[in-house]
Amino acid sequence: MRDFDGRDGIMLFGGIPVTEIAEEFGTPVYVTDESRLRENYRRIYGAFSKHMDTKIHYACKANTSLAILKILEGEGSGIDAVSVGEVMTCIKAGFTPDRIMYTGVNASNEELAAVTELGVTVNIDSVSALERLSKIKTGLPVSFRITPGVGSGHSDKVITGSKGSKFGIPDKSVIKTYIRAKELGFEPKGIHAHIGSGGQSAEPFSDELEVLIGYTNELKDLGIDLDFIDIGGGIGVPYRPNEPEMDIDELGASLTEMILEETDVRTIILEPGRYIVCDTTVLLTRCIDVKDAGTKKYVGVDAGFNTLIRPAMYDAYHHVALGNKFGKACTAKYDVAGPICESGDYLAHDRALPNPEEGDTVVVYNAGAYGFSMSSNYNSRPLCREVLIGGGRAELIRDSECIEEQWRHQRIPERLIR
């Protein structure tokens, strides 16, 4: 887990006191450190590119804020997109279509037509999608997502590579799908798999790559030479204090060695999302209420699972600190709960905190991945602001919604109006 500095009992984020950020922009608010974003991208790119030609396709579902996308575009990243909306958002941020790969699951004909028209590479998820795409447009360079039979992730809900998964082409159909693609006039260029999200062990990635290498060499024997192997994303990051971090340099060395020694492929593609943006961002929220319920103590805050759903949805751990009492001794354990009218609305359970009081600035760590991108208007609550810290300045990169904006697409039939 990333460590932060403090000054006079106040936590600093990007060199700025979190209390000042909360005061200027209000709460709840997501705050991203630009320098950390660049560091994370350069670290993972360097770990692989020093061994072989490497393309990083940022898995933008983790965070599609335009400013963050723009920074990564400037760093040279590509994009892994899973919807036409993500494709269009990335183009808006400056990515050219040749830097975007679309990997949709259960993609409709309308979406396949739209992404094809936009000119991005299509990574096909099923035999059905291949046949349907051939009726829209053929002659395209394509890749295929296969089900490797290897799964990894922080929760059963995010493991995607196991046998029987809804994602990818199952093993019995892989080779004949590539042959069928050639028959239909497509140009198979690569093979892809994604085993899950947030894995902290290197072994599943090696197991996945062995499967991809096996298919690659079998296809070569059939006269289908692939340009790249795409191992997907899923490299985890430490969320808890003192949790070990994956050795990304060792992972890069071992996986590239496998490809270089066992295949003729000379380009690897990775699709990190969480690894790049997770620890770049904190969620600042305000202590509204402190309650002793007898069997449990609560810190009530103004951010709920409408703002950050991961703890409620995945039982995910996010470290919590009081930004205005940084480094002070903890006095008791509390649940950190939000304002949503649900008993499952919490950000943290049983956290030792230093005497919380109304008005405290509560800091939720590791909020950059699947934080804002999964937020909602539940309980008719507006989406919150986002702020970017760069060059010693805090700048607004997304304003908060007003309540009226939630009505903009609603209509009341005339017959109901009195």
As annotated, the active-site residues are 341
- Which 3 state secondary structure label does DSSP give 329? coil
Residue length, the chain?
418
Helices (H) and strands (E) in the chain, counts: 11, 20
Asked if 168 and 328 count as a contact pair (C-beta separation under 8 A), the reply is no
DSSP string, 183-202: HTT-EEEEEE---BSSB--S
Q: Which of 2, 17, 3 is nearest to 394 (CA)?
A: 17
H helix or E strand, kind and range, residue 34:
helix 34-49
Candidates 79, 54, 102; CA nearest to 248 is: 54
CA distances from 43 to 21, 187, 243, 382 (A): 28, 33, 19, 35
- Give every CB contact of residue 113 below 8 A, 6+ residues apart in sequence: 136, 137
